[in-house]
Amino acid sequence: MAADITSGHDGVLRLGTVQGPGDRVYQMVGELAARASKWQVRLRRLPVSERLEAVRTGELDAALVRAASAAPGLELLEVWRDPLYAALPADHPLADRPVLGLDALSALPLRLGPREHNAPFHDLIRRAIRQAGAAPPQGPPFTDLQTTLTAIATATAPSWTVFYEVGPLPRMPRLAPRPLSAPSVTTSLAVPPGPPTPRYCASSRHCTRAPPPPRRPTPPRPRHPSTRSRPAHLPSAHP
């Protein structure tokens, strides 16, 4: 199957995908379909380690990965960058700031998922915290985003977590999501090493132009303590 993928004989472009903010992924798939009109674009969701291994073995032609700084045996081509957000209790003094730096959050316990659940993202956050000179204490474990945000909003002791936007920002009583001044999170396209094939050039912006600029953070909504909104659909923190 790897030979067919390389030559394009089977007429299918296999792409490992991530959950992207807004219509990012849909726009990319539309662009791929327009550039590679002779092939069908087939998306596949896999855990990040399996996604990268599928590109190495030829099971996938390419794969989107988030926050990866290296992928042994593959090349990483930047596709887009997105801001990161901190979520903290709405009644905490830091919630009055429109944008937060990691140094300001140093005294608050951080809820961060185990490294084995998402190593690239975990390493990105830990590295950024060190570079900011911060050392937040370890908070309760991060489970899933909705459960963690609910715990932050309702717990008696303040804490915070960090997440990337893949849908509307969460809106729930007593929770304040705020954009971080740094870092941003990069989504890259993992491809086999070596010169790009004509088929790859027909389906990739990287043969013709630079990656797009980073997205601007979504401005936080003004806080109205008396307002009680229903929680919106919450983004996922999974890779």
What's the confidence (pLDDT) of residue 22? 60
Question: What CATH number should be reported for the domain whose range is 83-184?
Answer: 3.40.190.10
What's the confidence (pLDDT) of residue 108? 97
State the Cα–Cα distance between residues 231 and 169, nearest whole angstrom. Answer: 10
State the Cα–Cα distance between residues 118 and 113, nearest whole angstrom. Answer: 8
**Would you say the pTM of this structure is higher than 0.85?**
no
pLDDT block averages, 10 residues each, the chain of length 239: 42 83 76 73 89 94 92 93 95 97 97 90 95 95 92 96 84 94 94 68 48 55 42 40
What's the confidence (pLDDT) of residue 217? 62
State the Cα–Cα distance between residues 45 and 35, nearest whole angstrom. Answer: 22
What's the confidence (pLDDT) of residue 236? 43
* Fold match flag (2-80+185-207 vs 83-184): yes
What's the confidence (pLDDT) of residue 128? 96
State the Cα–Cα distance between residues 158 and 47, nearest whole angstrom. Answer: 32
148 — phi, psi (to 5°)?
A: -65, -45
What's the confidence (pLDDT) of residue 10? 57
Instruction: Give the Å distances, CA to CA, from 231 to 35, 122, 235, 239.
Output: 39, 26, 12, 23
What's the confidence (pLDDT) of residue 214? 53
Question: What CATH number should be reported for the domain whose range is 2-80+185-207?
Answer: 3.40.190.10
Determine contact, residues 174/155, Cβ cutoff 8 Å: no
State the Cα–Cα distance between residues 217 and 83, nearest whole angstrom. Answer: 6
Domain ranges of the chain: 2-80+185-207, 83-184
What's the confidence (pLDDT) of residue 2? 36
What's the confidence (pLDDT) of residue 3? 39
Task: Return the structure tokens found at 227.
Answer: 């307002």
What's the confidence (pLDDT) of residue 200? 54
